[in-house]
């Protein structure tokens, strides 16, 4: 199948070609025809499967006819980074169409966003908080809305945005096409889908399974040795761009600071940064100035950077779904990638959960010349990432704990 089979406007086809796309991904092949037929739609697909283009292309096709001004398509996303990336995708795919888009999110002045709305933007890509703010101030007119897209709806639920989403859907025209995309389908999101979707087409692509182009490896290690192990591993591994996940914002900041002090080209992405700092980190990571990005789950949600060769779980995620989201940042577009996960004795049960989803045992690795028997520093209240250290450890016990992680 080729994109020509969708009978898109030649101007849109030119944008597709300019992006270098040749064949639609599975989620695009299964989604675009139904969305073009104006059906409500629910797509269950992982990050990195091409779902953004799956809804952007039909929206562009719709907007080439009808009114040329006023918001006709609203795309709601959980984070500023994802909103900006979708906005950029609309611009790149629609570069020959004259369709105007605006990204709406907090942390920056609302004045330029309002000006773009007043300038005739037809697509608004928005985070819930700033969108409701503009709606309350009557700075955005959604009376002519034709399409609503909820992207990464499961993450919006995780972040507590479900009440905002319900408020938004009640305040926009009921006669509309609604598209909902998620990687997983918890009960609350399923309830929401039943409320707002009418006889939807449902497509599942790679549901609840990590992408097949990613190789998984576990590195058993004591908590206090994670940072030196990470540095040693990065020195030993041939990488392009590396995304390192921590559990907390403070943990991300501390780890990035230590790595920078050790000479690694690293940037940090976490929720307490200003928008300018976040954009600087992402720009540096994209252009290669920073080979390593240390980030939290929410801050990295929806990142679309094609050349990430390695994802490293410095801290275990909280759920198997979060693990799938993390590793979905590598192995994209039929390229291969590696996912390294640091595991402590306490993580064993969670490792088994991941292996059940993958359907195979993950290879355990240990660096031969790394000293795993270095005891934890005494007299510290907590380790770098929030766990109580055990003081000076018996080397034999330390080794035995690591061996237990191999079970």
Place of tokens 């908080």: 129
d(C-alpha 314, C-alpha 339), whole Å:
11
354 and 268 in one domain? yes
d(C-alpha 352, C-alpha 360), whole Å:
10
123 and 20 in one domain? yes
- Number of domains present in the structure of the chain: 2
d(C-alpha 226, C-alpha 346), whole Å:
14
Local structure of 192: helix, strand or coil: helix
Residues 300-314: b if buried by 16+ CB within 10 A, e if exposed: bbbbbbeebbbbbbb
Could you tell me the end-to-end alpha-carbon distance of the chain, in angstroms, rounded to an integer?
A: 45
16 and 81 in one domain? yes
Number of H helices, E strands in the chain: 16, 14
254 and 114 in one domain? no
Taking 3-state DSSP, the helix, strand and coil percentages for the chain, each rounded to the nearest 5, stand at 40, 15, 40
- The separation between CA 155 and the C-alpha centre of its own chain, rounded to angstroms, equals 9
What confidence tens digit (pLDDT) does each residue in 327-347 have? 877 765 546 788 999 998 888
262 and 347 in one domain? yes
d(C-alpha 126, C-alpha 397), whole Å:
52
Which is it for strands 308-313 and 214-220: parallel, antiparallel or unpaired?
unpaired
Q: How many CB atoms lie within 10 A of CB 397?
A: 11
247 and 118 in one domain? no
218 and 200 in one domain? no
Task: Tell me how far CA of residue 340 lies from CA of 244, 364, 366, in angstroms.
Answer: 9, 10, 12
81 and 140 in one domain? yes
DSSP string, 101-122: EEEE-SSS-SHHHHHHHHTT-S
Which CATH number characterizes residue 338's domain?
A: 3.40.50.300
Q: How many CB atoms lie within 10 A of CB 185?
A: 18
What confidence tens digit (pLDDT) does each residue in 367-407 have? 888 999 899 887 544 444 444 433 334 444 444 455 454 44
By the 8 A CB rule, do 64 and 97 touch? yes
Compute the chain's Rg from CA coordinates: 23
User: What tokens appear for 403 in the block?
Assistant: 């061996």
Phi then psi dihedrals of residue 290, to 5 deg: -110, 110
Domain boundary among 179, 205, 231: 205
By the 8 A CB rule, do 165 and 156 touch? yes
Residues 130-155: b if buried by 16+ CB within 10 A, e if exposed: bbbebbeeeebebeebbbbbbbbbbb
Query: What does each of the 407 residues of the chain score in pLDDT, given as a tens digit?
Result: 789 999 999 999 999 999 888 889 888 999 999 999 999 999 988 666 788 999 999 999 999 988 778 899 999 999 888 899 999 999 999 999 999 999 999 989 999 999 999 999 999 999 999 999 999 999 999 999 999 999 989 888 878 899 999 999 999 999 999 999 987 777 888 889 999 999 999 988 754 445 567 888 999 999 999 999 999 999 998 888 899 999 888 999 999 999 999 999 999 998 788 888 888 888 898 888 999 999 988 666 666 676 788 999 999 987 777 787 788 777 655 467 889 999 988 887 788 878 877 777 889 999 888 999 899 887 544 444 444 433 334 444 444 455 454 44
Local structure of 268: helix, strand or coil: strand
By the 8 A CB rule, do 245 and 295 touch? yes
Q: Which residues constitute the domain of residue 158? A: 3-205
Domain boundary among 205, 225, 252: 205
Q: Where are the alpha helices (DSSP H) in 222-361?
A: 226-236, 249-261, 275-286, 297-300, 320-327, 348-358
Domain boundary among 170, 205, 240: 205
């Amino acid at each position: 199948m080729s994109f020509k089979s969708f009978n898109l406007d030649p101007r849109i086809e030119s944008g597709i070609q300019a992006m270098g796309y040749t064949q639609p991904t599975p989620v695009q092949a299964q989604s675009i025809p139904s969305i073009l037929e104006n059906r409500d739609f629910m797509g269950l697909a992982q990050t990195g499967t091409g779902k953004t283009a799956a809804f952007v292309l039909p929206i562009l096709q719709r907007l080439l006819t009808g009114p040329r001004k006023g918001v006709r398509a609203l795309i709601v996303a959980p984070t500023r980074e994802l909103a900006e990336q979708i906005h950029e995708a609309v611009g790149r795919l629609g570069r020959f169409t004259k369709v105007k888009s605006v990204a709406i999110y907090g942390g920056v002045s609302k004045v330029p966003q309002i000006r773009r709305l007043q300038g005739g933007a037809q697509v608004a890509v928005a985070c819930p908080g700033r969108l409701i703010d503009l709606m309350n101030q009557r700075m955005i007119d959604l009376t002519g809305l034709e399409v609503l897209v909820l992207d990464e709806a499961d993450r919006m639920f995780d972040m507590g945005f479900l009440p905002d989403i319900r408020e938004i859907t009640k305040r926009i025209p009921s006669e509309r096409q609604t598209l909902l995309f998620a990687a997983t389908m918890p009960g609350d999101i399923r309830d929401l889908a039943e409320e707002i979707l009418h006889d939807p087409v449902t497509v599942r692509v790679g549901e609840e399974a990590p992408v097949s182009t990613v190789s998984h490896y576990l590195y058993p290690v004591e908590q206090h040795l994670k940072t030196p192990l990470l540095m040693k591993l990065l020195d030993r591994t041939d990488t392009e761009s590396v995304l390192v996940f921590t559990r907390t914002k403070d943990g991300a900041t501390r780890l990035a600071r230590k790595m920078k002090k050790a000479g690694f080209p690293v940037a940090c992405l976490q929720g307490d940064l200003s928008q300018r700092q976040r954009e600087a980190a992402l720009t540096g990571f994209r252009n290669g100035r920073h080979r390593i990005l240390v980030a939290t789950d929410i801050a990295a949600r929806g990142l679309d950077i094609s050349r990430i060769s390695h994802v490293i779980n410095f801290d275990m995620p909280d759920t198997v779904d979060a693990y799938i989201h993390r590793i979905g940042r590598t192995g994209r577009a039929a390229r291969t990638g590696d996912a390294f996960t640091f595991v402590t004795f306490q993580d064993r049960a969670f490792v088994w959960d991941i292996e059940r989803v993958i359907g195979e045992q993950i290879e355990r690795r240990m660096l031969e010349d790394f000293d795993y028997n270095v005891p934890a520093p005494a007299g510290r209240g907590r380790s770098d990432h929030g766990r109580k250290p055990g003081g000076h450890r018996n080397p034999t016990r330390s080794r035995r704990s690591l061996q237990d992680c191999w079970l």
